Structure formats: structure tokens, C-alpha cells
Amino acid sequence: MARFSPQFLPLIVRHMILGEPWTPPRTLYLGLMRADEEISGGGYARQPVTLEATGDTEVSLTEDVVFPRSLTRWGRVSGVGIFTSQTGGILLFPGDVNESTEIGLNQKVEFAAGDLSFRVV
């Protein structure tokens, strides 16, 4: 399950209610989260994703996503997030993973198409 991030919700309100323009990004990126903080360093990089609607408030991955092998210990990955850019940008939807995983040295994280979905509530 996902929720609108504190950075994204005001954009939605200003766009939908006040009519302020907002152009969605052409590419979205998947990031790995440790608690409420994104992983950083050790070869980590957000990965581009393609999403498709699988319900009125749900989207799923349409292609496999593979993160590069960790060059250091990344720690316990307990969530993911959809971001507007490969670095910086806005976190749109943070979400939890079903089972958190400890990522040690020289490990990679993979999500198969359809295995990761975001249902926004």
C-alpha cells in the first residue's frame, strides 16, 4: 500500500483545486527505502520504471527492475518509493515491501514485472 508523500500532496491540491499547472515527469524512478529514508552510497542508484494501471487507485510494474550490486552494506530495505527523477526530485509514493530484506555487500535487489504494485489510499 502507498500514500501520497508530503511533497506530492500539495502539488495535487494546487493542481486539481487551484488549477496551477503541473507537468508529470516523462520517466519515473524506483528507489529503495530504509525506514523513511532512501538508501544512499555504495553503488546505489534509483532505477527507471514503467507502470500500468491495474485498478482505479493501483499501479504495477510492467518490466523487471534490477538494482546494481551493492558495493557496501545497504542495511535493511523495508520500503520503496516512486520518484520524479534519478537524483533529487520529488518522492511521489512511498510504500512498504511485504518482507524487509537485509542487503549486504555485493547483493542485488530485483523486482519482477507485476510483483510490485502501489495502491494509493
Domain membership flag for residue 90: yes
Task: Please tell me the total count of domains within the chain.
Answer: 1
User: Nearest CA to 87 among 47, 116, 51?
Assistant: 47
Residue 76 has pLDDT above 80, yes or no: yes
Domain membership flag for residue 71: yes
Instruction: Check residue 1 and give its pLDDT.
Output: 47
Domain membership flag for residue 55: yes
Domain membership flag for residue 4: no
Residue 5 has pLDDT above 90, yes or no: no
SS3 (DSSP) at 5: coil
Domain membership flag for residue 43: yes
Prediction pTM value:
0.85
Residue 98 has pLDDT above 50, yes or no: yes
Domain hosting 13: range is 9-119
Domain membership flag for residue 2: no
Q: How far apart are CA 108 and CA 56, in angstroms?
A: 32
For 29-63, what is each residue's pLDDT tens digit? Answer: 999 999 879 999 999 999 999 999 888 888 889 99
Domain membership flag for residue 98: yes
